[in-house]
Structure 1
């Protein structure tokens, strides 16, 4: 088993005191150094705010491949077909609505007039 030697008290005494430099300076020098340090920090902060970031795009990344164009065209054709189908369904529903509207109007008029024959005609025509 090996034992590590710890530094003795004499070796600790040889280490320079980091605060000794501060004590040797005049107070006005310390304040001047601090002021200079703050100005440098402020200048660095200002210049960091004025940094311009430029993003360079590769032309290759901007170009759309033929397969992507084909996919988009295929999707567009599919969506156009869906729109045509929905427009057709809408037209069918409009026709059904107008037919129902006409039936209800005729039936209401026959009921207001208490015309049993017209009521029967309206009901029979719809079947």
Structure 2
């Protein structure tokens, strides 16, 4: 977990450095969008429970490596105050073949949205609201 922005290029480099076995690298970056659940979004605040959240992300990465034929996994998630267009999450996966990398990356994002212990509060034109996963 981090409040600071992340550098996608550096995260990509960490996945491929000294890694000639993998022919596929799939990455996903989630950003703060301006519209959600029918309302205009001004900004958001993401909370987490330190220790629990890191453990959950580590377990998701391990589960993905067991479920899919992948090698490297990188998950970076921001917390704190985020403005429109800010990067929120990075998921990167390497594999010998693209099918496994795409499937694992999609699975990780789906699981992050439903299982990772984050709490999101959005500021809208109608006030603030907590949003469920």
TM-score, scaled relative to structure 2: 0.20
Higher relative contact order (CA 8 A, sep 6+): 2
Which structure dedicates a bigger proportion of its chain to helix?
A: 1
TM-score, scaled relative to structure 1: 0.20
